[in-house]
Amino acid sequence: MTPEFASHVVGQMFMTAFWIAAPLLAIGFVTGIVISLVQIVTSIQDSGFNAIPRLLAFLAGCLILMPWMVHRSMAYTIDILGNLNRYAR
């Protein structure tokens, strides 16, 4: 395996991890902004008011996006394991 090929495989791994994590990170970001705006408007400073909706949004996002995330990770795994002969060179 050449260094260029190894760097390509590692780059592909990082891109797959990024695309799997990006939707959940976006959900957390948007939920955090919305909750912060609600806190500013209503002057509520309770920490539970910030954490509980964000956790519920992550849970909903995980439940909705889980089939897509599993499909994406399985496609990457099948690609890696299906081409083991290229890695042995």
Query: DSSP secondary-structure letter at 83?
Result: T
- 78 pLDDT band (50/70/90 cuts)? very high
State the number of CA atoms in the 13 A half-sphere of 11 facing the CB. Answer: 6
pTM, two decimals, is: 0.76
Whole-number Å distance between alpha carbons of 80 and 83: 6
Higher pLDDT: 88 or 78? It is: 78
Q: To 10 degrees, what angle do helices 47-82 and 3-42 make?
A: 160
Whole-number Å distance between alpha carbons of 23 and 63: 12
- 89 pLDDT band (50/70/90 cuts)? low
Q: Structural domain boundaries of the chain?
A: 19-87
Per residue in 14-72, pLDDT (tens digit) is 999 999 999 999 999 999 999 989 888 988 887 778 888 889 999 999 999 999 999 99
